[in-house]
């Protein structure tokens, strides 16, 4: 449905230097999927999205939607934004305060090139409002809507033209935490029900994990990893991704030997020896970083009868309701373990930490 091929975008800055906002961005999105660009502020998410919309002209590359070339530097093609059949919702979605709900949603139909009849407009608007569960509120003043309803109205306005591609730039960031979580589910359901191909931009990793079929993790204009939420969470390609997605512990070490199990390596770390998985082809002697998620640190008082066991001491405890976050100290290293609140030994207790080999991920330390 969408192909972005080797897209670069450079801006001149005030000092006359070049800002490489997007560098060699390539990805494809299948029909009906929700694809997320995830990364910290300034990494190039909005630039990429605006380039797809045609609001920015890339410096080079190619953008194809539904088999139609919208931009190609080689073939000197640039299709204007209003000819692209793309709907977009920005972070600062603007609801027209002097219009009611119906007129807000009808706005794109009224200003577009195509002239629709009164009946056509009514049909399209009611369908879009129904999709976002705002039916019955057509004559309500837009400013009298709640934050979540205004957000849905912005979405209805993007949907009213029935675009083949929907672009959402941090659409939930203006909402409070509770509403944001609820809207997450609503967005997911809506996107799936409508089957509309969607590119979603966020800096919020939990939002990305919850919503996406596939995620591109970005840093400084580059895509660092492309994959499903599970792939990215369980098998981060590098230290940046492991650190950015969720919480993780890092242990520096080096490879002492290859494990008998293919893809696994024996690693010496300051707090003990571990066997870890790696997607990379690492060599003996190579410096690595081992990433271990807090929920994969299994603590016990008795030494478990297995491999990959470290000795540690309870350092600090934080009660979080469903879980207990425990800092454990091994050698001089503090690590975070997330455990069931029923297991709550006193600070200072000696414990054993067991980590499954599959849950130790070795990353080349570059």
Interface with ligand ADP by CB under 6 A: which residues?
11, 13, 19, 21, 39, 41-47
Using CA atoms, how far apart are residues 131 and 123, in angstroms rounded to an integer? 12
CB of 45 to Mg ion, least distance (A): 5
* CB nearer to Mg ion: pick between 36 and 46: 46
The distance of closest approach from Cβ of residue 258 to Mg ion in the complex, given in angstroms and rounded to an integer, is 43
Interacting span for Mg ion (CB under 5 A) from 39-47, 113-121, 211-219, 243-251: 39-47
Residue 21 CA to residue 24 CA, distance in Å, equals 10
Q: How many helices (H) and strands (E) does the chain have?
A: 8, 21
Instruction: Assign 234 to helix, strand or coil.
Output: helix
Q: Which is nearer to ligand ADP, 222 or 254 (CB)?
A: 222
Length of the chain: 366
Nearer to ligand ADP, 21 or 326 (CB): 21
Q: How far apart are CA 95 and CA 251, in angstroms?
A: 49
- The DSSP-derived string for 52-76 is HHTSS--SEEEEEETTEEEEETTTT
| Cβ neighbours, 10 Å, residue 195 | 10
Q: Which stretch binds Mg ion (CB under 5 A): 45-53, 80-88, 137-145, 329-337?
A: 45-53
The item of Mg ion, ligand ADP, none sharing an interface with residue 44, based on CB under 5 to 8 Å by kind, is ligand ADP
The yes or no reply on residue 46 touching Mg ion (CB under 5 A) is: yes
Return the number of the residue (40 or 66) whose C-beta is nearest ligand ADP: 40
Nearer residue to Mg ion within complex by CB, 46 or 212: 46
The interface region with Mg ion, picked from 40-48, 127-135, 147-155, 183-191 by CB under 5 A, is 40-48
Q: How far is 210 from 281, CA to CA, in rounded Å?
A: 31
Per CB under 5 A, contacts with Mg ion among 279-318 are none
The closest of 196, 1, 228, 201 to 91, measured between CA atoms, is: 201
The footprint of Mg ion (CB under 5 A) covers 46
């Amino acid at each position: 449905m969408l192909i972005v091929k080797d897209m670069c975008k450079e801006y001149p800055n005030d000092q006359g230097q070049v800002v490489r906002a997007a560098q060699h961005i390539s990805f494809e999105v299948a029909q009906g999927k929700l694809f997320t660009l995830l990364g910290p502020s300034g990494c190039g998410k909005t630039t990429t999205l605006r380039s797809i919309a045609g609001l920015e002209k890339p410096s080079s590359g190619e953008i194809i939607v539904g088999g139609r070339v919208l931009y190609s530097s080689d073939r000197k093609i640039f299709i204007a934004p209003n000819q692209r059949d793309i709907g977009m919702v920005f972070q600062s979605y603007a609801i027209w305060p002097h219009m009611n709900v119906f007129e807000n949603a009808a706005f794109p139909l009224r200003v577009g090139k195509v002239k629709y009849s009164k009946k056509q407009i009514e049909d399209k608007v009611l369908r879009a409002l129904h999709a976002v569960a705002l039916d019955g509120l057509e004559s309500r003043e837009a400013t009298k809507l709640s934050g979540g309803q205004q957000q849905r109205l912005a979405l209805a306005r993007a949907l009213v033209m029935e675009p083949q591609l929907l672009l959402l730039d941090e659409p939930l960031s203006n909402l409070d935490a509770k509403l944001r979580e609820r809207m997450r589910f609503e967005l997911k359901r809506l996107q799936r029900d409508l089957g509309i191909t969607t590119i979603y931009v966020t800096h919020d990793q939990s939002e990305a994990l919850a919503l996406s079929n596939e995620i591109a993790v970005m840093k400084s204009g580059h895509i660092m990893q492309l994959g499903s939420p599970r792939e990215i969470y369980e098998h981060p390609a590098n230290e940046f991704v492991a650190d950015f997605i969720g919480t993780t512990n890092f242990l520096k070490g080096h490879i002492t030997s290859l494990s008998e199990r293919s893809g696994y390596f024996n690693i010496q770390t300051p707090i003990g020896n571990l066997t870890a998985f790696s997607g990379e082809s690492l060599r003996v002697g190579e410096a690595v970083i081992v990433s271990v998620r807090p929920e994969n640190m299994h603590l016990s008082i008795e030494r478990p009868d297995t491999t990959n066991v470290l000795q540690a001491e309870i350092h600090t405890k934080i009660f979080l309701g469903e879980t207990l976050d425990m800092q454990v100290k091994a050698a001089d290293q503090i690590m975070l373990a997330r455990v069931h609140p029923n297991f709550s030994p006193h600070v200072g207790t000696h414990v054993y930490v067991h980590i499954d080999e599959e849950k130790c991920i070795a990353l080349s330390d570059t």
